[in-house]
Amino acid sequence: MNYANYLYIAIRAAVDAGKSIMDIYTDPEADFEIERKADNSPLTRADKAAHRLIANALSVTPYPLLSEEGSEIPYEERAKWETLWIVDPLDGTKEFIKKNGEFTVNIALVAKGVPVLGVIYVPVRRELYFAADTEGAYKLKDVDCSNQPSIDELKQKAVRLPIPLAHQSIVVVASRSHQTEETTAFIENLRKQGKPLTLISSGSSLKICLVAEGSADIYPRFAPTMEWDTAAGHAIARAAGCNIYHIDEKTPLSYNKKDLHNPWFIVK
């Protein structure tokens, strides 16, 4: 299947959602209206606004939507979905609240459990990562969709991933907000292999993007995540020649499972 048209729809949805998020983020008098979900994770009105916008934009496609901020859908219904959108309207809500800029909009199209299209937009930086199996993976800075550029025009302005980068050491990216003892042990084991090691921290799905673009070599995640946290980044990583594996480093993550929690994983 040629995903170019769906990729364009997803890009426009992500950028428009990013604008709505920034309207709240940059308003000095805005109230984020922070709520707590059942798992005690934060939810703001920016999450809700972005969800509504994306859900509306993707409704023109024939595929159903699984969104972090959408209504819970029974597995008996989801199991019938061969192809679906998996969305996190605001990935990194903690980063949004902290105002450190490291939050993203994540949109993925998943077919038979495999992410085949992914868009990650970084609203504060106006950076866009986008990929599809039929198109390759790209990174575009200073995004401007006001003139409604085509996919080909966006690709012409973007950089193809991965970007050839020479590392003097193994570059490991880790979570800024969810470091665990197991992650620390994994990194220390890498360090003991005798190669120089550089550790960098980042928030949200940006960690996957850093591996996909070549800025980092590996991202171990030994802490809880959900499918909408990784699906878009996974599509971008796949199109850039990387993958997200279970800790056996052989089995790729799959999606639309009965349990939407991801296992521990490694991006490389």
Sorting pLDDT into bands at 50, 70 and 90, what band is 38? low
Q: In terms of domains, do 207 and 140 share one?
A: no
pLDDT at 102 over 80: yes
Structural contact between residues 103 and 209, judged by C-beta atoms closer than 8 angstroms: no
CA–CA separation, 88 vs 134, rounded Å?
A: 23
What integer best gives the mean pLDDT of the chain? Answer: 93
User: Domain range for residue 181?
Assistant: 170-267
Q: In terms of domains, do 32 and 157 share one?
A: yes
Q: In terms of domains, do 104 and 208 share one?
A: no
pLDDT at 39 over 80: no
Q: What is the mean pLDDT of residues 232-244?
A: 98
Report the phi/psi class of residue 19: left, alpha or beta, with left for phi > 0 and alpha for psi in -120 to 50.
alpha
CA–CA separation, 56 vs 195, rounded Å?
A: 49
Q: In terms of domains, do 196 and 221 share one?
A: yes
Q: Which pTM was predicted?
A: 0.94
- Listed residue (180, 181, 244, 170) closest to 207, CA to CA: 244
Question: Length of the chain, please?
Answer: 268
- Quick: pLDDT tens for 154-194: 999 999 999 988 888 999 998 876 678 899 899 999 988 88
Structural contact between residues 60 and 89, judged by C-beta atoms closer than 8 angstroms: no
CA–CA separation, 18 vs 4, rounded Å?
A: 21
Q: In terms of domains, do 15 and 98 share one?
A: yes
Structural contact between residues 21 and 51, judged by C-beta atoms closer than 8 angstroms: no
Last residue of a domain, one of 127, 161, 195: 161
Tell me which DSSP letter residue 18 carries: H
pLDDT at 62 over 70: yes
Q: In terms of domains, do 217 and 255 share one?
A: yes
Q: Residue 127 belongs to a domain with what CATH number? A: 3.30.540.10
Q: What is the mean pLDDT of residues 214-238?
A: 96
pLDDT at 205 over 90: yes
The predicted pLDDT at position 142 comes to: 94
Q: In terms of domains, do 146 and 21 share one?
A: yes
Domain total of the chain: 2
Q: Residue 250 belongs to a domain with what CATH number? A: 3.40.190.80
